[in-house]
């Protein structure tokens, strides 16, 4: 990773460059979501998948790990359920 801190750059830019970027993918265990997870993991992002498995497959996080060597966090959650979504997001933000 490039060195970002110098007297000429802001503290915000320093944190932007040094903090790992976290991304939440809804439907991460479906076709498009799984390919997106692989791409983002390979680019250094921390990936969290929220999927209710109405169409996604439970084995997808294992396959993503086999491809990338990095295991995405997968939360079984239905985003239509507001209370469950709030709990899931609190767990992610910790």
Model confidence pLDDT, tens digit, residues 24-40: 898 999 999 999 999 99
- Does 88 fall in a domain? yes
- Does 74 fall in a domain? yes
pLDDT exceeds 70 at position 14: no
- Does 85 fall in a domain? yes
Higher pLDDT, 8 or 72: 72
Say what the pLDDT of residue 1 is: 44
Reported as a single tens digit per residue, the pLDDT across 52-82 is: 999 999 999 999 999 999 999 888 888 888 8
- The rounded distance, in Å, linking the Cα atoms of 52 and 94 is 21
Q: How many domains does the chain have?
A: 1
- Does 47 fall in a domain? yes
- Does 21 fall in a domain? yes
Instruction: Quote the Cα angle for 32-34-35, to 5°.
Output: 65
Of 55, 4, 68, 3, nearest in space to 28 by CA: 55
Q: Which domain holds residue 27?
A: 11-93
**What's the pTM?**
0.72
Q: What is the CATH number of the domain that holds 52?
A: 3.40.50.720
Q: What is the per-residue burial (b if ≥16 Cβ within 10 Å, else e) of 12-22?
A: eeeeeeeeeee
Distances (CA, A) of 9 to 19, 72, 83: 16, 32, 41
């Amino acid at each position: 990773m490039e060195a970002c801190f110098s007297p000429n750059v802001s503290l915000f830019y320093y944190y932007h460059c040094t903090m790992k970027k976290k991304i939440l993918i809804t439907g991460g265990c479906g076709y498009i979501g799984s390919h997106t997870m692989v791409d983002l993991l390979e680019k250094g992002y921390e990936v969290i998948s929220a999927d209710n498995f109405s169409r996604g497959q439970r084995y997808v996080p294992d396959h993503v790990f086999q491809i990338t060597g990095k295991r995405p966090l997968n939360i079984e959650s239905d985003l239509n359920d507001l209370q469950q979504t709030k709990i899931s997001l609190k767990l992610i933000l910790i």
